[in-house]
Structure 1
Amino acid sequence: MLYHMVMLEPANDGAMSQIDAAMAILETLPEAHPGFTAFSHGPNRDFERKSERYPYGFLCTFTDKAALDAYAADPDHQRAGALLVRACKNGAAGIFVVDLES
């Protein structure tokens, strides 16, 4: 399994509407990609107080890297990504991505 975690640092209070629009797009992608097995998103609870900079994020689960690559190349993923870049502080610099494989 491959876990693709993305944490977002919104640029301002109005950025959440763009983030919501991006999440609506991303929610449709698992059904279009057989190796994309799960998608969830929501506020970062930050119980350990170590990631206050990123108050929102999402997690995708893939069967393997090929499935992640297919998702990354999808035009709807790219459209959602563009919305997130516009919504985040300093554009792409306000997006933190981690890929974990188990």
Structure 2
Amino acid sequence: MLLHCVFLQFADRYAEAERKEVLRDLGTLKGEVDGMLQYHHGPNLDFESKTPEHKDGFVILFRDREAHLAYERHPKHVRLSARLVEMCVGGADGIVVYDIACEGDTSSQST
């Protein structure tokens, strides 16, 4: 599995409604891209005060890299990602992406 994590520094000139719309629209790809298993988005609560400039983000769980590639090539994703770049401070510089290879569920392990 692959966890695609995206953190956004939207430019102030974009209203919250515009920000939420593009994030919501990305979620509609879940029904269109085989292997796109989960999609979650929301504001960065930044409890540790480490990333105040990245106020919003989303994560997608993919079955595998092939599903991620299908998502990357999907015409709706191409259009929406271009919109995100346009909406962020410094374009692509206002976007941080982490792709994490999930090595298993450790939720039942005690620490």
Q: What 5-or-longer segments of structure 2 have no aligned partner?
A: 103-111
What is the CA–CA distance in structure 1 between the aligned matches of 2:82 and 2:15, rounded to whole Å? 13
Q: CA RMSD in A?
A: 1.2
Deviating 4+ runs (over 6 angstroms) = none
1:7 is matched with 7
Percent identity among equivalent residues?
Answer: 38
Q: What 5-or-longer segments of structure 1 have no aligned partner?
A: none
Task: Give the paired residue count.
Answer: 102
What is the CA–CA distance in structure 2 between the aligned matches of 1:15 and 1:7, rounded to whole Å? 17
2:87 is matched with 87
Larger RCO, structures 1/2 (Cα 8 Å, 6+ apart): 1
Query: How far apart are 1:24 and its partner, in Å?
Result: 2.6
SS of structure 2 residue aligned to 1:29: helix
SS of structure 1 residue aligned to 2:100: strand
Rg larger for: 2
Deviations 1:5-62 (A, max 9, x none): 0000011142534322321321110111120000000000111111111010000000
